[in-house]
Structures are given as C-alpha cells and as structure tokens.
Amino acid sequence: MPEPLIDSFGRVHTNLRVSVTDRCNLRCFYCMPADNVEFIDRRELLSFEEIERIVRVAVTLGLRKVRLTGGEPLVRRDLHILVARLAAIPEIVDLGLTTNGILLADQAAGLYAAGLRRINISLDALDPQKFEKITRRTGYEQVIAGINAARITGFAPIKVNAVSVRGLTEDEIVPLGLFARRTGVEVRFIEFMPLDAENVWERNKVLFAREIVEILSREIMPLVPCPDANRHTPATEFAFADGVGRIGLIASVSEPFCEQCDRFRITADGKLRNCLFSLAETDIKELIRGGGSDDDIAEAIRASVAAKREGHEINTARFIQPPRLMHAIGG
Ligand code: SAM
Ligand code: SF4
C-alpha cells in the first residue's frame, strides 16, 4: 500500500476538486471580470479520459472524495459522462458537484442517473435584483428552478452556497435562513475571499461568519452546533434550536481552516494546485500529453502536496493574491 498523500505539516490529503472549465454563464463580481474574459483554449482543457486517469492514480494515493467545479461545470458539454466515469470508481466514496444552478433544471435527471448525489448550488441572494447586481447577468428564476429540480430528483445532501459581502448581502441573511428552514437544504454562508478580478476585496468587505450567526440567532432563533458535523468540511454546521433548518458557516478569512485542510486541486487546463491561494502550480497535462506514466503522475501529485504551505496568509501583510482568478482555479 503506497504512503498516503501527506504534506510537511502532517495533513493527509484525500479530497480533490476538479475544475472542468473556466467558462461561465454568470459574471459574479467576486470571481470573474465583467467583460472581455480570456478563456482557456478548448484544446488545453483536460479531456474526461485525462481527468479520470488523474483521479484513478490519485485513488492509489488515498484519494476518496472528488468535487467537480469550475467556472460553471454544467457549461462543459456532456458532463454526465465524466460523472458516470468517476462514479464507477469504487474508492470514491464522495462525489459532488458545485454549480450556479442556471442549467441544472435541464441536467438534474441526467446527472442523477450518472451517479451524482451530492450537489452544492450557489445563490447569494433571494432578491432577484440583488442577484443580478452580484452576478451581472439574469437567471435568478433558472437557479430557483434548478434548486427545485435538485430537490425533486432526490439529490442529497443539497447545499446552497451564499457568499457574504459586507455592505451588500446583510439583507439576505434572514431570508436565506428562512429558506433553509422552509426547504430543508443546508444554506452555507461563505466569507468573501480575495480571488476577484477587479481587486475590490478588502478585509472590511468580509461579512464575518460570527456576525451571521448572531443575526440569525437574534432574528430567527438561536443556532446550536450540529453534533454530527464533519471535522473535515470547512463549514461549521449549526441547526436552529427547534431542529428545523441547517446552516453552515465557512469562515475562510476570519477563522481559516488550513490546519485541517485535506484538499488539493486540478485546474481545467491541467495544473495541480495544493491550495486555493497557491502561487505555484504543477503542469500535469504536459506530463500526461508528453507520455508520462502513472508513476510519473503519482510522483507529481505527491510532490505538489508535499510542498503545501502552512496556510493562506490572508490575514498577514505577506499575503499575495494568486494571478489566477477564482473561475480559472475552481472554487
Ligand atoms: N460556478 C459554480 C458556482 O458558482 O457554484 C462553481 C464554481 S464557483 C468558483 C464555486 C464557489 O466559489 C461558489 O459557491 C462561489 O460563490 C464561490 N466563490 C467564488 N468566488 C469567491 C470569493 N471571492 N470568495 C468566496 N467565495 C467565492
Ligand atoms: Fe461563475 Fe460560479 Fe464564478 Fe459566479 S462564482 S462567476 S457562477 S464560476
């Protein structure tokens, strides 16, 4: 049995996020530029075969969880085929997808049939105008239809991700809390991180997770920590005191979870990254297309994980925003 994927701080890596495209049908201000985005040439995207090969090699190193993301993963043609290939790998006990939901109503049944069960849908605002202000596109109704389709199809768990931005999304907190209670989906509030194109991120635009807990507890009812919370998810999970409605808080800025991090990433153009905020990448596509063996791929993954830094340093003067934006990394 090969050694697990372990970094120099003793963190074992079992969780891979695979970006399948950097393209998107929205233009969320915290993730992409509004216009004139230069996308990766399609020939540079990893094929489904290449992604499956990387995942199968990583499985021999202890990989157990995969999440497909982007850009918007549902704009990648025939994504259900990749889902079926990955769902057929028995060691992958947890296969998930993060989507903006715009195309989900059309694809939900096909993705479910391909073996997908876990789905995260991003929706920062229940007010359609606020949604358009953030995403700089229309499509609110489609996202709601996507969430409903996911519920009807039987996906579980379904989580709704909402980025929290001070001065912008305060009014959405209570409606989203009530939405969690009404629908049974977990709503996860994510602190705004510095991965945006227009350099609008500032620490004082981060609406802190603890403030969100206070607002929900005051305006709806107290939140209590969930006893079954998973130590490896970045979300701290709470339930309302009457047991109706589950809330996750992802405090990436105010309470970084780097110490427990078990993730590594592959970009749509085949670059291995050991952190969202990594400044270095390993070109695994070049390795594969140059005839590299499975052992070469395993060695590249091992070396990338081994070189992981202790943490993201957002809260220090040393922080440097990576040149890749969120949509090109894969959130
Ligand atoms: N397009 C899909 C979506 O929006 O769900 C998948 C990719 S998106 C990059 C993944 C997640 O990252 C989304 O929930 C999005 O809201 C979140 N995200 C993007 N930029 C962010 C930022 N600067 N800070 C915090 N979360 C961010
Ligand atoms: Fe697209 Fe998702 Fe980024 Fe919004 S967060 S621009 S939906 S990739």
Number of compact structural domains in the chain: 1
Residue with the smallest CA separation from ligand 1 atom 11 is 331
The CA R_g of the chain, rounded to the nearest whole Å, is 19
Over residues 216-237, the pLDDT tens digits come to 999 999 999 987 667 667 889 9
Residue 193 lies in a domain: yes
* CA distance linking residue 330 with residue 70, whole number of Å: 5
Residue 3 lies in a domain: no
* CA distance linking residue 284 with residue 316, whole number of Å: 31
* CA distance linking residue 234 with residue 232, whole number of Å: 6
Q: What is the CATH number of the domain that holds 49?
A: 3.20.20.70
CA of 190 to the centre of ligand 2 (A): 14
Residue 7 lies in a domain: no
Q: Is the pTM of this model over 0.95?
A: yes
Nearest ligand, measured from the Cα of 135: 2
Query: In the numeric block, which tokens belong to residue 8?
Result: 């120099």
Residue with the smallest CA separation from ligand 1 atom 22 is 193
* CA distance linking residue 256 with residue 119, whole number of Å: 23
Over residues 84-143, the pLDDT tens digits come to 999 999 999 999 999 999 999 999 999 999 999 999 999 999 999 999 999 999 999 999
Instruction: Please tell me which residue, 196 or 111, carries the higher pLDDT value.
Output: 111
Q: Which residues line ligand 1 (CB under 6 A)?
A: 24, 30-31, 69-70, 72, 98-100, 122, 161, 163, 190, 192-193, 195-196, 326-327, 331
Mutation test residue for ligand 2: of 20, 27, 119, 123, the one with most atoms within 8 Å of CB: 27
Residue 5 lies in a domain: no
Residue at 243: amino acid letter: G
Nearest ligand, measured from the Cα of 329: 1
Residue 4 lies in a domain: no
Provide the residue range defining the domain that includes 52: 15-329
Residue 9 lies in a domain: no
Residue 234 lies in a domain: yes
Ligand 2, closest atom to CA 27?
6
Residue 10 lies in a domain: no
